[in-house]
Chains A and B, each alone.
Chain A
Amino acid sequence: DSGVTQTPKHLITATGQRVTLRCSPRSGDLSVYWYQQSLDQGLQFLIQYYNGEERAKGNILERFSAQQFPDLHSELNLSSLELGDSALYFCASSVGGGADYTGELFFGEGSRLTVL
């Protein structure tokens, strides 16, 4: 158990809908990262937050957004869903996120999104 909690574990929805994925980082970790893992693209970095502020952005679509709250939990919002958004969405956390970043990410067990 990495200490990172993600909910829901599974989600099935229809095209055009909107969903919210939630992540609670390990106690004491200030950084939260979101990754998408699909069968044809491997693990893709989406976005990172550090202590409530966006720190780095990867291949995140405009239909997706995220935020990190004062209690450090994070939410990833996916809207206008398409079939191709079906994937496993991982949240990870780390102690630091800038110059103090150690490189070690602790991953949650993922939220599996199926868009029908």
Chain B
Amino acid sequence: EDKVVQSPLSLVVHEGDTVTLNCSYEVTNFRSLLWYKQEKKAPTFLFMLTSSGIEKKSGRLSSILDKKELFSILNITATQTGDSAVYLCAVDRGAGKSTFGDGTTLTVKP
């Protein structure tokens, strides 16, 4: 059975801290790994990763994929209260058939 496991389940940090969120997976027909940020409502797309070892960056967020060890990490540096959200990792198994992890709830305190 396809599985995506995120850790930690929740995390509380203070503004300015750096956090690392983990995502490991066991799926058939891996196409890509995706990170989403879910605040109160709809998940919003952050990154899509298809190749091992190539870091994707967007501002203070970065992510990397290791296809040999079957995991990805999402780093957030200099966290802000606006980074508080649920971060979802998903593996696309082809044509949008994505398996999502349960998410990591990040709380950033002032």
Q: For chain A, give the interface size range.
A: 20 to 34
A43 to chain B, nearest CB (A): 4
| Contact of A43 with B100 at beta-carbon distance under 8 Å, contacts A48-B95, A90-B42, A107-B42 already known | yes
Q: Could you tell me if B34 and A48 are in contact, using CB atoms closer than 8 angstroms?
A: no
Provide the residues of chain B in CB contact with A104, threshold 8 Å. 34, 45, 48
Check if A58 is an interface residue, CB within 8 A of chain B.
Answer: yes
Q: Could you tell me if B99 and A45 are in contact, using CB atoms closer than 8 angstroms?
A: yes
Check if A85 is an interface residue, CB within 8 A of chain B.
Answer: no
Number of interface residues, chain B, beta carbon within 8 A = 24
Check if B68 is an interface residue, CB within 8 A of chain A.
Answer: no
Check if A25 is an interface residue, CB within 8 A of chain B.
Answer: no
Q: Which residues of A does B touch, CB under 8 Å?
A: 2, 4, 31, 33, 35, 42-45, 48, 50, 55-56, 58, 90, 92, 94, 97-98, 101-110
Q: Could you tell me if B96 and A31 are in contact, using CB atoms closer than 8 angstroms?
A: yes
Check if B28 is an interface residue, CB within 8 A of chain A.
Answer: no
Q: A56-B96, A101-B95 are in contact. List 19 more A-B contacts (CB 8 A).
A: A2-B42, A2-B44, A35-B100, A42-B100, A42-B103, A45-B97, A45-B100, A48-B96, A48-B97, A55-B95, A92-B96, A94-B96, A103-B92, A104-B34, A104-B48, A105-B34, A105-B45, A105-B98, A108-B42
